[in-house]
């Protein structure tokens, strides 16, 4: 499987003390929300095929 930008985003969110996680958290984005949004996005793409 190719590594996409969503994997980098999820990696940033897995390090709670990291700057990336703190900045994303400021905007209300946590790992659960990112995963949920990713899954919804992929579901829409599958329906279009």
13 close to 30: Cβ distance less than 8 angstroms: yes
Q: Report, as an integer, the average pLDDT of 11-29.
A: 97
pTM of the model: 0.76
The pLDDT score that the predictor gives to residue 47 is 83
CA gap 31, 46 in Å, rounded = 23
The pLDDT score that the predictor gives to residue 36 is 97
The pLDDT score that the predictor gives to residue 22 is 97
Say which residue, 46 or 24, is predicted with more confidence. Answer: 24
Alpha-carbon torsion, ordered 19, 27, 12, 33, to 10 deg:
160
């Amino acid at each position: 499987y190719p590594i996409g930008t969503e994997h980098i985003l999820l990696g940033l969110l897995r390090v709670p003390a990291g700057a990336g996680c703190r900045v994303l958290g400021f905007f209300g984005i946590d790992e659960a929300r990112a995963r949920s949004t990713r899954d919804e996005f992929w579901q829409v793409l599958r329906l279009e095929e």
